[in-house]
Chains A and B, each alone.
Chain A
Amino acid sequence: MNCRRFQHRLYEYLDGSLSPGAQAAVERHLSGCAACRQALGAERQVAETLSGTFRRATESLQLPPEVQQRVLAALADQRRAPAEQQGSVFSWSQLAWPVGLTASVLVLLAGVFLFPRGPGSQMGSPQTRLAAGGVSIQLSYVVPIYTFRQEGGFVIDALTYQTNVIDERFPAAPARLE
């Protein structure tokens, strides 16, 4: 081991976290190197000084009892809040998501049953074409999308349509796997 490697392992040596082999190598180096022994002594002195200074500067400090009281009060408030919400007067905002979801489902079903052809002339019934060596089926359908969001005390909703097209081609005979 040389001085550079010793410097690299100095902290771990002080921590006692080196492997037995590395520990022995460090000690062999220290026994023959005055400069590294001095560096080790200096590091120990720094550690002792800083630890002592930190301790002396803070040892009289105690957490004021109000802090514990405030923590317990905040937790009690937190526990109380949901219970009060459950027993409180009716609020539209509590129903926003269930109502919105139900409305979306109803509008979707209504769109499927009441507007099977959709607003466009090309949509609705499947079109079947005979392609060379197979069959091509095109199907389009309209999906009504009901979206809503809550802003402050208001629920804002919007109804839009999305047209989906399915275009599938089936070969006349299933392809044979080689």
Chain B
Amino acid sequence: MDEEQLVRGLRSQDPGAVQELVAAHGDRLFRSACLLCGDQAEAQDLVQETLLQAVRSAPRFRGCSRVYTWLHGILLNLTRHYHRDRKRMVYDEELARQEPALLEENPNGLDVEMTSGALADALGGLSGPHREVLILRFYEDMKIHEIAAHLSISNGTVKSRLHYAIAEMQRRLPVALNLFGACGTEEKAKS
């Protein structure tokens, strides 16, 4: 089923199309939601509401973007409402401790459990707009102009937020992890 057929199916609320939508984009959307909100249970609710809103608003979707980009736009809006309700985000310990088995596979030889926990803490300390650009850039692999269009902000604002978010991540991530090598935490710690 191509994207056009998928959207046609969603417009008629065809259960097969909904299943196809979940199969094609559910996991990726869920992972992005986990990074954005830091809580798996909340991420599930956010993705569920995103899918429902997508089906309900499918008649108004004009196909100007990819289906995933459209879904992610809905997810971002819902996540902002979620953050408004919670002044400070507390990251889920479960998310922070994913995949301990990957320890051996990690090419840098880093402790993945510790890295994920530190990453979750550092992300949780960023403001919503800074976290959004960081995730869109480094998880969704979007280009600067794509992020700008997705968030309805200028390229300059994207670059400025990204610059600040990276600097904050370098500052917040523990020096012991030395994630950024010579350009990152260790270097900053010495200076």
A169 to B183, CA, bound (A): 84
Given A17-B144, A63-B47, A70-B48: A56 in contact with B40 (beta carbons within 8 A): no
A58 lies within 8 A of chain B by Cβ: yes
A19 lies within 8 A of chain B by Cβ: no
B1-9, B15-23, B71-79, B82-90: which lies at the A interface?
B15-23
B98 lies within 8 A of chain A by Cβ: yes
B179 lies within 8 A of chain A by Cβ: yes
In the complex the two chains form, is A45's CB within 8 Å of B106's CB?
A: no
B37 lies within 8 A of chain A by Cβ: no
Give min CB distance, A111 to chain B, whole Å. 43
Question: In the complex, which of the residues A51, A57, A71, A72 contacts B95, with contact meaning CB atoms closer than 8 Å?
Answer: A57
Q: Which residue of B lies closest to A61 (CB)?
A: B31
Q: Which of A70-90 contact B (CB under 8 A)?
A: 70-72, 74-75, 79
B61 lies within 8 A of chain A by Cβ: no
In the complex the two chains form, is A57's CB within 8 Å of B98's CB?
A: yes
A178 lies within 8 A of chain B by Cβ: no
A70 to B48, CA, bound (A): 8
The B interface, classified by DSSP as helix, strand, loop or mixed, is: helix
In the complex the two chains form, is A67's CB within 8 Å of B35's CB?
A: no
Give min CB distance, B19 to chain A, whole Å. 7
Question: In the complex, which of the residues A15, A60, A68, A71 contacts B143, with contact meaning CB atoms closer than 8 Å?
Answer: A15
Chain A 36-59 interface 0/1 with B at a Cβ cutoff of 8 Å (1 = within): 000001100111011101111111
Q: Which residue of A lies closest to B120 (CB)?
A: A57
In the complex the two chains form, is B169's CB within 8 Å of A50's CB?
A: yes
In the complex the two chains form, is A75's CB within 8 Å of B55's CB?
A: yes
A44 to B98, CA, bound (A): 26
A62 to B40, CA, bound (A): 10
A168 lies within 8 A of chain B by Cβ: no
| In the complex, chain B residues whose CB is within 8 Å of the CB of A60 | 98-99
A98 lies within 8 A of chain B by Cβ: no
In the complex the two chains form, is B180's CB within 8 Å of A67's CB?
A: no
Chain B, interface size category, equals 35 or more
| In the complex, chain A residues whose CB is within 8 Å of the CB of B182 | 42
Give min CB distance, A106 to chain B, whole Å. 38
A12 lies within 8 A of chain B by Cβ: yes
Q: Which residue of B lies closest to A39 (CB)?
A: B183
A75 to B159, CA, bound (A): 40
In the complex the two chains form, is A63's CB within 8 Å of B183's CB?
A: no
| In the complex, chain A residues whose CB is within 8 Å of the CB of B149 | none
In the complex the two chains form, is A11's CB within 8 Å of B141's CB?
A: no
A63 to B50, CA, bound (A): 13
A21 lies within 8 A of chain B by Cβ: no
In the complex the two chains form, is A71's CB within 8 Å of B138's CB?
A: no
In the complex the two chains form, is A62's CB within 8 Å of B106's CB?
A: no
A47 to B169, CA, bound (A): 12
In the complex the two chains form, is B52's CB within 8 Å of A75's CB?
A: yes
| In the complex, chain B residues whose CB is within 8 Å of the CB of A67 | 22, 26, 30, 44, 47-48, 51
In the complex the two chains form, is A57's CB within 8 Å of B119's CB?
A: yes
In the complex the two chains form, is B40's CB within 8 Å of A61's CB?
A: yes
Show 25 residue pairs from A and B whose CB-CB distance is below 8 angstroms, ordered by the A residue. Answer: A11-B144, A11-B159, A12-B144, A17-B143, A42-B182, A42-B183, A49-B184, A50-B138, A51-B141, A54-B135, A54-B139, A56-B106, A57-B99, A57-B119, A58-B31, A58-B95, A60-B99, A61-B27, A61-B34, A61-B40, A63-B47, A67-B30, A67-B44, A68-B19, A68-B51
Closest 4 CB pairs of A and B: A42-B183, A58-B31, A63-B26, A50-B138
